[in-house]
Structure 1
Amino acid sequence: MTFRWLCGVLRVRGKTDLLLVFLFAAGFAALPVFALLPSLWGFVAASAVTYVVDEVLHTRAPAFVRRLAALQLTRTMRFAVRTVMLLALADRMDASDAVLVAALAVFSAHFTVVILYTAVHHAIRRRRTLPVVVRNLDMSGAGIPQSPPALLYRRFLRKLLHLDLPAHAGLLAALAAGAWQPAGIGFALTAGFAVAAVVALLGQLRRARRMPSGDEVIAELNRQLAGYRPEVALYFSFAAVSRDFMYQVNMWIETLEQLDRRPLIILRERASFRYLSRTSIPVVCIPKADDVAQLELPELRVVLYPGNAGKNVHMLRVAESKHVFIGHGDSDKLASSNRVSKVYDEIWVAGRAGRDRYQRVRHAISDSAIVEVGRPQLSSIRLHADHVPGPLPTVLYAPTWEGWSDDDCHTSLIPMGVPLVEKLLAENVRVLYKPHPLTGKRSREAAEADRAIRELLRADNERRGGQEAEAAIATARPRLAEIQARLGELSGRLGGDDAQQTREARPAGLDGEAEWHELRAEWHRLFRESRGPVLHQVIVKQLPTLYECFDQADILISDVSSVVADFVASLKPYVLTNANGLSDDAFRAAYTTAGGAYLLDRDCTRLPEILDAVREPGHDPMAPERRVLKEYVLGPDRPTSMERFNAAVNVLACKAAAEQEERHADEQEVVVQLTG
């Protein structure tokens, strides 16, 4: 418990990171000691440790580094501390006044250059901040200049601060040799490199002055949109956007690409743009509401919303279009039957279950506004009949997160997550643990339970021979990284800042589509093979995908969430956690997806009996209920959900066009009456 508490406080993930933190702290604590003794070689060792470990922690434990910055122990402050200790060491070792003055002057000048460089960098970045970021439209006519070289522009503070290394090394060498020439060489190198860096960046500032104005960029964007003539838009906004939220957009991309009508994706937060998956659809990220109002979309007929967010109102004002809430998965949570959905013209749900769910707020939502369109994303999920079991039963534990408030908290992590995993390990099964991307964002208890489960699985992997498997994982890691880098390129994640990505944006073709699918399949195959059929897995990144986890699992254990509704498509057995101790009848009455589920109490006493449904497929009494539930939750298999979704778009687009023509005719009649 103390170990987990300490990891939580320091924001590190395990023993290795914790050891690095202690080494980092010991190195900095030793600097003043060795400086005052004085001990030259002790100081050299401590200084080297602080340099190296600091860099490693930036890669391995960025949350710890951010915690340091919150305590005002920024990277710049840590470099300053190291420099002050070095000057103290030189003074204690009787360095000459000339050397001390020169050192103080050089180090002071170095930090002054850092400040000046930062100011110039910020000036360039402000000038290069455009009102929009664009993908898959030709923006070459906007006249956006080339981004500054990455050497000067990206992670500049890290590079600039490390320019003190020649001066540090030179002064330490001088103290060791008793001759001051090495110090002079080091001082000259540090000063020369720093000045050269500022001069080079000032040249880039002159180029940035040629950036087009925001109005010019939006005018060029509207010219490109006029040529493309989008008819359907997917609109997405989220206040705290990150890669954790972009699954809500990425899950709809393939569906949009198969529509009869020309689609467009509109994003509202810059951070979301870089986590967008591969698509040939034009994408526009436009953060400010005033700029959204300048978009010219005369043929836009249908706007689709995967999430309820405050910024949706900036698009809902467009009266010429029909606005549809499609959500990011059907579940029994409040978000899937929210009264706020009344602001939309229609609400599209997967099946009859979604319609019935909205009837609970019948005073707000009209039944005629609800359309059943299925879940096109689920067509690739492998059915239970086609599943080949492994040597051990594979249990996918996919708890939801703790919600925005305790009233909406459905996660099993806090009340029963750790004992559940302990009992699963006692049952000798393989666990795929995939927590919700937002796990631990609001609740410390959920974060602690998440860390505890990861540690349990890691320890059990060691018992199962995980050390031997590390060789296979290490062998596969370079190829996996290579594939992910290529997938990033194929996704359109170009180098440079947002302005550079917009500058290089071009209409997408089909080039690379086959390679994209082949590489994703290869990545999943290598990932599975390298980890084997026995070891547990903790899955927290975008790959492997959730649906790939579905295909690998024999059974799902989850909470009330859209994950369960999607898993129903496989017809495999699944378990819903009943942490609040409701009776079975009350729980099934409250939550639609419980109709085909095995229910697990907080003490997990039913777990061995439930796992029999996997170990003995003939002993699966909930199988008939799952078949009935699948159609109720997800709709019929024929016509396909893609066909139903496409038809719903076409019907609503035609309706919007007819209403617009009617309004135009009415306006013309009013004009005639006024002028007659």
Structure 2
Amino acid sequence: MPSAGLSPRRAVQLAALLALAVFYTAQLAGALLPNVPVFLTASLAGLALDLYLTHRQPGLLALLGKVRFDVTTRQLLRDMLIVIGLVRIPDVPPDIERPLTLLLLLAYAAHFLCQAVAQLVRRTRTLPVVTRNIDASALRLTDAPSRLLARQPSRRLLRFSIPGTVGLMLSAGLSQQEWGLVGISCTFLLSLGSAVYLGTWLLPKKRSRSEHEVMVWLDKWLAAYKPTVGMYFSGGTTSAYQANMWLSTLAELDGRPLIVLRERFMVQKIDATDIPIVCIPKVAHLMHLEHSTLKVLLHPANSGKTSQVLRIPTLKHAFINHGESDKLSSCNPYAKAYDQVWVAGEAARERYALAEVGVDDKDVVEVGRPQLTPIQHADERAAAPASDYTTVLYAPTWEGWDGNPGNTSVPLAGEHIVAALLADPKVRLLYKPHPMTGSVDPRAGAADQRIRAMITQANVERGAGRRDPRATAELERRTAVLDEATTTAFRASADEMERMKSQGTPQKGNAERVREATEAWEAAYWASFPDSEHQIVTGPRPAIFSCFNQADLLISDVSSVVSDYLSSEKPYAVANTSGMTEEEFRHAFPTVRAGTVLTPDAQQIPALLESVRDAGKDTLAGARKELKTRLLGPSEPPSLARFNAAALELADETEARNVRVARRTAEIPGQREAEEAAEEAEMEAPGGASDPEDAVTQ
């Protein structure tokens, strides 16, 4: 049994390593003694274990690969021990090792040939750009070869080795060399045939267009589509939400929108949208945007690759961020690299001024938060059917990179907050931690796990979990509908090119269908749980805005979650784990001023819950309404209208700038020609310099 400090996954990995060592040792012992039953059992068990590892333990395989004990090395060692065993077993015909060894070498040569062809095929199928929602039929895109042959050399080697290993074991057990020859011949032919089959993807009919041809095609598409405003995004695997929150806003802007990505994997991370998507990994290819009609790029996040697109002089850039937080650390000095910084309201403008990161006030534009439209107002929540429970959403942020203890309440206050809420029999708790919780500080991750355990135990004690079968069935049906709407069905072997081919011109109105399916799923999701059941909400579904609409009260940290929730004007509280006094905390962070401040021991929660249940005791309603305007801007004109106007104005500035530069550029060649003519005349004049070096000295 594994020790208390050993996770089940680690225990399985250690057991697999031990078994691997035992099988190799037993195989060697069986070969040298010789002991045929031990030899046969260990050889076949070792191959079976390797097959299991390739399918179930990729992490362990990666670790073995780092110490140069990869699949190829393990199979070579296994085959070498098999040959030794055949030589040592008395009943096996003499000199059997010579033809078998030669055939084994040919089989490995065929394997490496197949691997070389597979690598070449993968390279030819890696295009300089990846697109979605764009008709790329002119590029003659083709379906991918089998994933086993093209992208899984380890699995291919082990599977193709099965006939050879079985044949050799039959030779050892039956003392007949023919079985080994037949088995290894099958292994050889499988690898050689696969190499020939993969080679057909290098023929003109299946071969993709060259890099130059693809870029010419992209230029032509850009010229035909004529994009005007785009969203530029680069980030890691968990950061796609930062771009996805802006999709609906981008789709509503005047002009022709475009999404520009830099990481290939991100193409499939972007939610359903009708907007054309183009991924351009290389800087040299990114520069093709300079010659397009694109005028404005919107940036929801900073990244190292952002500086590369900022080099394009024909574009104007606006930083729109993926959330508005009161923390001065969120006012990144990188923001001064953009032409404009778009913020929700007056508070953010002041925040940049206080941060003194080099952003001029004239470059800050207040546009509101157009994506907050789905958040219901407090009046809508009040009009909903009454519940016996007060729903509280605890949505802490993560610990951040700077080590500030005030960034997240999870390690210092989280357990106290949750304990106080669970102690109230009329509270229904929704716990939605930030997806990056614990990624920097292990203490935050450990506290998060303890909080989840507390909630699970509270549900057991409350007797929650008895769900309506009809509601559960409806949720399953809605889940299937949403999955069908949001998931593009790809073959298991589909690669980047094949996905690009199948995701050409989208079905019109697909984004609207996904929106409707999402709303129906969220309604079914919340209806599937009894009002008394606490929830731990992780993953992309349900989204944070849907949780907002369920909540009567939000408890969070200083983050954009508070600013967004404030649009509902419902009560909220902010945990203060910064070490500041309450007065200092409220002064430092404007979003806190219309909410309740919680100390790390969360002693304010009983009174807070009472004020939520009794509107007469809610003394902050007016302050929330006033602060909403200050943080998110006025209700009129609507945020989307202000956002669209800002985009059009910045596009006009881009156009005016490009016209001015084009005029100056047109004048420069003439000036150069005049200067060259003057220099030539001077050279030809009497006493003029006849040598460039003489001209310099003169």
Same fold (TM > 0.5): yes
Q: What is the match of residue 196 of structure 1?
A: 193
Q: Secondary structure at the match of 1:294?
A: helix
Give me the whole-angstrom Cα distance separating, in 2, the residues matched to 1:117 and 1:403.
46
Decide which moves more: 216-225 or 270-279: 270-279
CA apart distance, 1:65: 6.0
Residue 370 in 1 paired to residue 369 in 2?
A: no
Contact 1:237 1:269 in 2 (8 A): yes
Would the alpha carbon gap of residues 110 and 449 (structure 1) be closer, same or farther in structure 2, given more than 3 Å must change? farther
Could you tell me which amino acid in structure 1 is paired with residue 92 of structure 2? Answer: S
Q: Secondary structure at the match of 1:582?
A: coil
Give me the whole-angstrom Cα distance separating, in 2, the residues matched to 1:474 and 1:104.
61
Residue 317 in 1 paired to residue 315 in 2?
A: no
Contact 1:349 1:370 in 2 (8 A): yes
Decide which moves more: 388-397 or 121-130: 388-397
Contact 1:225 1:296 in 2 (8 A): no
Corresponding residue to 1:445 among 443, 446, 452: 443
Q: Secondary structure at the match of 2:289?
A: coil
Q: What is the match of residue 384 of structure 1?
A: 378
Q: Deviations over 1:268-305 (max 9, x none)?
A: 12222221111221211111111111335443222211
Q: Secondary structure at the match of 2:631?
A: helix
Would the alpha carbon gap of residues 640 and 128 (structure 1) be closer, same or farther in structure 2, given more than 3 Å must change? same
Q: What is the match of residue 344 of structure 2?
A: 350
Would the alpha carbon gap of residues 492 and 588 (structure 1) be closer, same or farther in structure 2, given more than 3 Å must change? farther
Decide which moves more: 333-342 or 130-139: 333-342
Give me the whole-angstrom Cα distance separating, in 2, the residues matched to 1:466 and 1:187.
60
Q: Secondary structure at the match of 2:6?
A: helix
Residue 569 in 1 paired to residue 585 in 2?
A: no
CA apart distance, 1:129: 1.8
Residue 128 in 1 paired to residue 125 in 2?
A: yes
Q: What is the match of residue 53 of structure 2?
A: 54
CA apart distance, 1:471: 9.3
Q: Deviations over 1:496-552 (max 9, x none)?
A: 333334445534452434432333234334544555544444444222222222223
CA apart distance, 1:258: 0.5
Would the alpha carbon gap of residues 475 and 328 (structure 1) be closer, same or farther in structure 2, given more than 3 Å must change? same
Q: What is the match of residue 237 of structure 1?
A: 234
Q: Secondary structure at the match of 2:555?
A: strand
Q: Describe how 1:519-668 pairs up with structure 2 within 5 A.
A: 519-530=517-528, 532-616=530-614, 618-665=616-663
For structure 2, list consecutive stretches of 5 or more residues without a partner in the other structure: 675-698
Give me the whole-angstrom Cα distance separating, in 1, the residues matched to 2:539 and 2:342.
29
Would the alpha carbon gap of residues 491 and 118 (structure 1) be closer, same or farther in structure 2, given more than 3 Å must change? closer
Q: Secondary structure at the match of 1:152?
A: helix
Give me the whole-angstrom Cα distance separating, in 2, the residues matched to 1:373 and 1:158.
53
Would the alpha carbon gap of residues 670 and 52 (structure 1) be closer, same or farther in structure 2, given more than 3 Å must change? closer
Q: Deviations over 1:436-459 (max 9, x none)?
A: 233333333333333444444445
Would the alpha carbon gap of residues 538 and 4 (structure 1) be closer, same or farther in structure 2, given more than 3 Å must change? farther
CA apart distance, 1:194: 3.5
Q: How many residues align?
A: 661
CA apart distance, 1:472: 9.5
Would the alpha carbon gap of residues 601 and 181 (structure 1) be closer, same or farther in structure 2, given more than 3 Å must change? farther
Would the alpha carbon gap of residues 603 and 171 (structure 1) be closer, same or farther in structure 2, given more than 3 Å must change? farther
CA apart distance, 1:588: 0.9
CA apart distance, 1:66: 4.9
Contact 1:229 1:297 in 2 (8 A): no
Would the alpha carbon gap of residues 638 and 467 (structure 1) be closer, same or farther in structure 2, given more than 3 Å must change? closer
Contact 2:86 2:97 in 1 (8 A): yes
Give me the whole-angstrom Cα distance separating, in 1, the residues matched to 2:394 and 2:69.
39
Give me the whole-angstrom Cα distance separating, in 1, the residues matched to 2:285 and 2:25.
57
Q: Describe how 1:147-186 pairs up with structure 2 within 5 A.
A: 147-150=144-147, 152-155=149-152, 157-167=154-164
Q: Deviations over 1:103-156 (max 9, x none)?
A: 877776665554443332222112222221122223222344443244533545
Corresponding residue to 1:96 among 92, 99, 103: 92
Could you tell me which amino acid in structure 2 is paired with residue 54 of structure 1? Answer: L
Contact 2:290 2:313 in 1 (8 A): no
Would the alpha carbon gap of residues 295 and 648 (structure 1) be closer, same or farther in structure 2, given more than 3 Å must change? closer
CA apart distance, 1:660: 3.2
Give me the whole-angstrom Cα distance separating, in 2, the residues matched to 1:64 and 1:474.
38
CA apart distance, 1:261: 1.5
Decide which moves more: 138-147 or 368-377: 138-147
Would the alpha carbon gap of residues 672 and 490 (structure 1) be closer, same or farther in structure 2, given more than 3 Å must change? same
Contact 1:114 1:157 in 2 (8 A): no
Contact 2:134 2:505 in 1 (8 A): yes
Would the alpha carbon gap of residues 109 and 419 (structure 1) be closer, same or farther in structure 2, given more than 3 Å must change? farther
Corresponding residue to 1:404 among 401, 406, 409: 401
Q: Compare CA radii of gyration and give the structure with the larger one.
A: 2
Give me the whole-angstrom Cα distance separating, in 2, the residues matched to 1:484 and 1:175.
56
Q: Describe how 1:201-240 pairs up with structure 2 within 5 A.
A: 201-206=198-203, 210-238=207-235
Q: Describe how 1:509-528 pairs up with structure 2 within 5 A.
A: 509-528=507-526
CA apart distance, 1:222: 0.7
Corresponding residue to 2:23 among 18, 26, 31: 31
Would the alpha carbon gap of residues 638 and 477 (structure 1) be closer, same or farther in structure 2, given more than 3 Å must change? closer
Q: Secondary structure at the match of 2:584?
A: helix
Decide which moves more: 369-378 or 142-151: 142-151
Q: What is the match of residue 270 of structure 2?
A: 276
Q: Secondary structure at the match of 2:484?
A: helix
Give me the whole-angstrom Cα distance separating, in 2, the residues matched to 1:490 and 1:599.
45
Could you tell me which amino acid in structure 2 is paired with residue 306 of structure 1? Answer: P
Q: What is the match of residue 294 of structure 1?
A: 288
Contact 1:402 1:410 in 2 (8 A): yes
Q: Secondary structure at the match of 1:234?
A: strand
Would the alpha carbon gap of residues 112 and 491 (structure 1) be closer, same or farther in structure 2, given more than 3 Å must change? closer
Residue 262 in 1 paired to residue 261 in 2?
A: no
Contact 2:375 2:567 in 1 (8 A): yes
Q: Secondary structure at the match of 1:295?
A: helix
Contact 2:296 2:318 in 1 (8 A): yes
Contact 2:522 2:542 in 1 (8 A): yes
Contact 2:328 2:351 in 1 (8 A): no
Would the alpha carbon gap of residues 19 and 522 (structure 1) be closer, same or farther in structure 2, given more than 3 Å must change? farther
Could you tell me which amino acid in structure 1 is paired with residue 365 of structure 2? Answer: V
CA apart distance, 1:262: 1.2
Please report the TM-score for the alignment, with normalisation by the length of structure 2.
0.81
Residue 307 in 1 paired to residue 307 in 2?
A: no
CA apart distance, 1:622: 3.1
Q: Secondary structure at the match of 1:124?
A: helix
Q: What is the match of residue 11 of structure 1?
A: none
CA apart distance, 1:5: 5.3
Give me the whole-angstrom Cα distance separating, in 2, the residues matched to 1:410 and 1:566.
17
Q: What is the match of residue 500 of structure 1?
A: 498
Please report the TM-score for the alignment, with normalisation by the length of structure 1.
0.83
Contact 1:274 1:493 in 2 (8 A): no
Q: What is the match of residue 679 of structure 2?
A: none
Give me the whole-angstrom Cα distance separating, in 1, the residues matched to 2:387 and 2:80.
60
Give me the whole-angstrom Cα distance separating, in 2, the residues matched to 1:119 and 1:72.
20
For structure 1, list consecutive stretches of 5 or more residues without a partner in the other structure: 8-14
Identity in percent: 33
Q: Secondary structure at the match of 2:275?
A: coil
Q: Secondary structure at the match of 1:284?
A: strand
Alpha-carbon RMSD across the aligned residues, in angstroms, is: 4.2
Q: Deviations over 1:408-438 (max 9, x none)?
A: 9712233333454444444454443333233
Contact 1:133 1:285 in 2 (8 A): yes
